């Protein structure tokens, strides 16, 4: 059996269609069917149940699916590990929305001088999605906020971020010189989607303070949250790094609430069982140096 057999098999497992798998792999359907037949003859089991025009992985197929996925993951990691020994190096880096928008561009700008030959492949998504990609070996390193403890993920604190409470200059709280936590009770908030570290930090802080709130809008980007809040659709908590310019320009008002500071850690994360290559180590060290030199 070859790696090609495994790649074809996994594509068929995922799509539950030999025709769809062939299209994804840039093949015609007969070679895909032939590869599956060769696998079944080799192992002496039926890997798929035929249900009309659809197919479903059999119990024996699920066993092979697990081994095939792990085999290809290890092959991919071996290739990347060997490539990493070259001068150029490459990294697959993922970042949650806030880190990817507010912090990572600054870091990468400085790192360009330190690691001029680094090839970087960047994915930006919410925290839950970045952690999932990391666990699936689709990323080498991730930058996230608000992630709970996960035994299979090694997390190191990188930066402490504070969420600013913002509103439109026309909001009834905009002119308030002194706010208490209870002044927020029952207020409408524009929030990030489920799985967002920003949403998790905000919700936990208000819950700990015993403050109930209403959801007036949901958006999956910081830019959308800022725009919605500026137009009076609700209050919002968002990283101070992202709203400095809008507040300075008078587009938003940043409110202070006595006794309510919403902070969270930005973390560098990687799979616990993944070898820290020279390129990864240099990248992490460079990130820490950039953060240390960053103005408050």
**Average of per-residue pLDDT across 63-78:** 84
**Confidence at residue 167, expressed as pLDDT on a 0 to 100 scale:** 95
What is the spatial distance between Cα 143 and Cα 156, in angstroms, rounded to a whole number?
A: 10
Dihedral of the CA atoms 137, 143, 148, 153 (nearest 10)?
30
Q: Give the closest residue to 262 by CA, choosing from 98, 143, 41.
A: 98
- Of 17-21, 66-70, 159-163, 270-274, the range with the lowest mean pLDDT is 270-274
Three-state SS string over the chain comes to CCHHHHHHHHHHHHHCCHHHHHHHHCCCHHHHHHHHHHHHHHHCCCCEEEECCEEEECHHHHHHHHHHHHHHHHHHHHHHHHHCCCCCCEEEEEEEHHHHHHHHHHHHHHHHHHCCCCEEEEEEECHHHHHHHHHCCCCCEEEEECCCCCCCEEEEEEEEEEEEEEECCCCCCCCCCCECHHHHCCCEEEEECCCCHHHHHHHHHHHHCCCCCEEEEEECCHHHHHHHHHCCCCEEEEEHHHHHHHHHCCCCEEECECCCCEEEEEEEEEECCCCCCHHHHHHHHHHHHHHHCCCC
**Confidence at residue 249, expressed as pLDDT on a 0 to 100 scale:** 92
What is the spatial distance between Cα 12 and Cα 129, in angstroms, rounded to a whole number?
A: 24
**Average of per-residue pLDDT across 276-284:** 84
Q: What is 160-264's CATH number, 3.60.15.10, 3.60.20.10, 3.40.190.10, 1.10.3720.10?
A: 3.40.190.10
The CATH class of the 3-83 domain is: mainly alpha
Query: pLDDT at residue 261 above 60?
Result: yes
Of 14 and 85, which is predicted with more confidence? 14
Portion of the chain with pLDDT greater than 90, in percent: 35
Tell me the pLDDT tens digit for each residue of 203-254. 999 999 999 999 999 998 888 999 999 999 999 999 998 998 899 999 999 9
- Residue 174 has, within 13 A of its CA and on its CB side, a CA count of 16
**Confidence at residue 279, expressed as pLDDT on a 0 to 100 scale:** 83
User: pLDDT grade, residue 137 (50/70/90)?
Assistant: confident
What CATH fold (topology level) applies to the domain 90-159+266-292? Answer: D-Maltodextrin-Binding Protein; domain 2 (3.40.190)
**Average of per-residue pLDDT across 17-22:** 89
Identical topology for domains 90-159+266-292 and 160-264: yes
Domain ranges of the chain: 3-83, 90-159+266-292, 160-264
**Confidence at residue 87, expressed as pLDDT on a 0 to 100 scale:** 43
Tell me the pLDDT tens digit for each residue of 147-200. 767 778 888 888 888 999 999 999 999 988 789 999 999 999 999 988 888 888
């Amino acid at each position: 059996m070859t790696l090609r057999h495994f790649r074809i098999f996994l594509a068929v497992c995922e799509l539950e269609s030999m025709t769809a798998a062939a299209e994804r792999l840039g093949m015609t359907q007969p070679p895909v069917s032939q590869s599956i037949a060769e696998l079944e003859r080799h192992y002496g089991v039926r890997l798929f149940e035929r249900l009309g025009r659809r197919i479903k992985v059999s119990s024996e197929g699920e066993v092979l699916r697990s081994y095939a996925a792990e085999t290809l993951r290890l092959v991919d990691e071996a290739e990347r590990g060997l490539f990493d020994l070259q001068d150029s190096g490459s990294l697959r880096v993922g970042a949650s929305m806030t880190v990817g928008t507010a912090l990572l561009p600054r870091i990468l700008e400085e790192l360009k001088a330190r690691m001029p030959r680094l090839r970087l492949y960047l994915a930006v998504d919410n925290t839950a999605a970045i952690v999932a990609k990391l666990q699936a070996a689709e990323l080498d390193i991730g930058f996230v906020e608000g992630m709970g403890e996960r035994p299979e993920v090694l997390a190191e604190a990188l930066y402490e971020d504070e969420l600013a409470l913002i509103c439109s200059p026309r909001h009834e709280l905009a002119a308030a010189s002194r706010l208490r936590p209870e002044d927020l009770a029952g207020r409408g908030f524009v929030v990030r989607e489920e799985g967002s570290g920003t949403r998790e930090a905000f919700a936990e802080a208000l819950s700990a303070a015993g403050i109930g709130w209403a959801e007036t809008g949901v958006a999956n980007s910081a830019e959308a949250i800022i725009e919605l809040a500026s137009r009076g659709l609700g209050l919002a908590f968002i990283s101070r790094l992202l709203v400095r310019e809008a507040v300075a320009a008078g587009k938003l008002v940043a409110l202070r609430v006595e006794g309510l500071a919403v902070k969270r850690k930005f973390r560098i994360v990687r799979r616990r069982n993944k070898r820290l290559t020279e390129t990864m180590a240099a990248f992490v060290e460079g990130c820490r140096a950039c953060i240390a030199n960053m103005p408050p």
